[in-house]
Amino acid sequence: MVSITIDARMIDASGIGVYLENILEQIVSAYKVILLGDPDKLAAYQHTAQIIPFFAPIYSIKEQIAFKNIIPECDIFWSPHYNVPLFSIKAKKRVATIHDVYHLAFSQELGLLKRLYARMVMNVAVKLSSRIITVSEFSKKELLKYTKSEDNKITVIYNGVDHHVKINSFEDLKEKYKIPDKYILYVGNVKPHKNLRKLLEAYLLLDPSLYQKYKVVIVGQKHGFITGDLALIKWIDNTPRLADNVIFTGFADHEDMDTLYYYASVFVFPSIYEGFGLPPLEAMANGCPVIVSNESCLPEICGDAALYFNPFDEREISNKISTVLKSRTLPTQLIERGIQHASKFSWEKSGRIHIGLFNSL
């Protein structure tokens, strides 16, 4: 049986962890799988895969030193992120998934060391890997633009969406996260490229009748582990209308996400750079009308199921939000189109294409 070693240290990360967990469900039944990572976090796979403890921090010198010895002899080594081994390993073939090249496209926002690290490691990844997986045609174009990759080396495999919708008690949810009956929803962190500030500037431009009725619920941490825009947080805290009407849920349990999407009046995603953009599709799958930025991969991924805006124009964002909240028919139309569109994306399909790629090697 073909043996695949997988760096699974990011199994509990918010984005890559969702991707890895859903693809692993199918990979472990198709190959002899060796997982590198925390055995406690990988306990669900203890009967279907060999687990090798590996605790070196991501992006560290320690992980690079350890890779050579910890990766056993195998047919394929798969890295689900761009932090690939820089030196020789005992795998016959390498595959790396590079979800986006934000660190190269927005390098001016990074410190010198992070900028140099990202440029070096991504170029090593595309040079040493037999195949590069990325998650959208947009990201493929960005890889070709910012690295020395070859077109025929990159395979686009879309992410999937969980369609096992489970709606819990809204009353319990309101109590748990201190959210109102009516709200505008945003899911994500506070990094500058997520463009949350423009959403909040747009909120300030809403008619009084709307901002008095709807608050903004942000699913994510306000402080703590998020590498966020500290100036944005300070601005929220010092702007009375925002301080009173913007609610951070903190970490939200996975089993609550369907309900948070379902009861939102509208989901707004103002990001200016995404490799795939999973939250808008999750919102669609859960019957929530979606308004998104017209930048990066989002038109490719959301198709005709979303309402689009220029993410640099707060007035346009505000007008689109107002249009949805005031309309009797548009939300229903967006919900119907969204559910139909999201059904085209499945983790089962994504997993099959991954397996096909591994088999081709």
Structural domain includes residue 313: yes
Which residue has better confidence, 155 or 250? 155
Residues 218 and 71 in one domain: no
Residues 321 and 224 in one domain: yes
DSSP type of residue 249: -
Judge whether residue 261 has pLDDT over 80. yes
Which residue has better confidence, 56 or 193? 56
Structural domain includes residue 227: yes
Residues 244 and 314 in one domain: yes
Measured from the Cβ of residue 258, the count of other Cβ atoms closer than 10 Å reads: 20
Count of structural domains within the chain: 2
Residues 323 and 203 in one domain: yes
Structural domain includes residue 165: no
Distant-in-sequence, close-in-space partners of 5: CB < 8 Å, separation ≥ 6: 33, 34, 35, 36, 71, 72, 74, 76, 77, 78, 91
Judge whether residue 63 has pLDDT over 70. yes
Judge whether residue 260 has pLDDT over 90. yes
Mean pLDDT of 92-99: 98
Residues 330 and 184 in one domain: yes
Judge whether residue 60 has pLDDT over 70. yes
Residues 181 and 328 in one domain: yes
Mean pLDDT of 269-289: 97
Which percentage of the chain shows pLDDT scores above 90?
A: 85
DSSP type of residue 109: G
Residues 119 and 43 in one domain: yes
Mean pLDDT of 234-242: 93
Which CATH number covers residue 188? 3.40.50.2000
Q: Tell me the pLDDT tens digit for each residue of 343-355.
A: 999 999 999 999 9
Res 223: pLDDT: 65
Mean pLDDT of 229-246: 90
Residues 50 and 141 in one domain: yes
φ, ψ of residue 216 to 5 degrees: the values are -105, 125
Long-range own/partner contacts, residues 133-136 (CB < 8 A, 24 or more apart): 133/95, 133/96, 133/97, 133/98, 133/157, 133/354, 133/357, 134/97, 134/98, 134/99, 134/100, 134/275, 135/97, 135/99, 135/100, 135/159, 135/275, 135/276, 135/297, 136/275, 136/276, 136/297, 136/300, 136/301
Which residue has better confidence, 254 or 4? 4
Structural domain includes residue 16: yes
Mean pLDDT of 314-333: 97
- Provide the pLDDT confidence category of residue 230 given band limits of 50, 70 and 90: confident
Mean pLDDT of 89-115: 92
Judge whether residue 120 has pLDDT over 80. yes
Mean pLDDT of 13-29: 93
Structural domain includes residue 308: yes
Which residue has better confidence, 334 or 114? 334
Structural domain includes residue 194: yes
Res 109: pLDDT: 79
Which percentage of the chain shows pLDDT scores above 70?
A: 98
Mean pLDDT of 116-136: 95
Mean pLDDT of 29-58: 97
Query: Residue 220, Cα to own-chain centre: how many angstroms?
Result: 13
Q: Which two tokens stand for residue 24?
A: 């692993």
Res 319: pLDDT: 98
Judge whether residue 227 has pLDDT over 70. no
Distant-in-sequence, close-in-space partners of 271: CB < 8 Å, separation ≥ 6: 188, 193, 194, 195, 277, 292, 293, 295, 296, 298, 311
Judge whether residue 123 has pLDDT over 70. yes
Specify the length of the chain in residues: 361
Structural domain includes residue 302: yes
**What is the average pLDDT value for the chain, to the nearest integer?**
94
Measured from the Cβ of residue 237, the count of other Cβ atoms closer than 10 Å reads: 12
Q: Tell me the pLDDT tens digit for each residue of 160-187.
A: 999 888 999 999 999 999 999 999 999 9
Mean pLDDT of 185-203: 92
Q: From CA 6, how far away is CA 77, in angstroms rounded?
A: 6
Domain that holds residue 95: 3-160+346-360
Judge whether residue 268 has pLDDT over 70. yes
Res 226: pLDDT: 43
Phi-psi category of residue 319: left, alpha or beta, with phi > 0 → left and psi -120 to 50 → alpha: alpha
Mean pLDDT of 326-344: 97
Structural domain includes residue 92: yes
Residues 190 and 135 in one domain: no
Judge whether residue 323 has pLDDT over 90. yes
Res 225: pLDDT: 41
